[in-house]
Amino acid sequence: MTVEETVAYVHSQTACALIELEAMKAENAYRAMRGETQAYSEQAFSDLIVHYGIHHNAVIGLFQDARR
């Protein structure tokens, strides 16, 4: 991938993570409204970063590969 393609990829992965994050927040809010336990813990939210490969080391690795 070129640097530009890498930027686009990281943006798309970030958008996917944000969409899933909002769905998780909505589910937790819905459950709270019903007096139920949360469906998603703090760890589940943090895991999105790894799942979508948008943590620091992953992104740096992508850009390093793009510059080769």
For 6-65, what is each residue's pLDDT tens digit? Answer: 999 999 999 999 999 999 999 999 999 999 999 999 999 999 999 999 999 999 999 999
User: What pLDDT was estimated at residue 23?
Assistant: 98
User: What pLDDT was estimated at residue 68?
Assistant: 82
The H or E element spanning position 57 is: helix 56-66
Task: State the Cα–Cα distance between residues 26 and 48, nearest whole angstrom.
Answer: 16
User: What pLDDT was estimated at residue 24?
Assistant: 98
User: What pLDDT was estimated at residue 50?
Assistant: 97
Cα 41–chain centre separation? 15
User: What pLDDT was estimated at residue 20?
Assistant: 98
Domain of 9 in residue numbering reads as 3-66
Q: Could you give the number of structural domains in the chain? A: 1
Rounded to 5 degrees, φ, ψ at 40 are: -125, 130
pTM summary value: 0.88
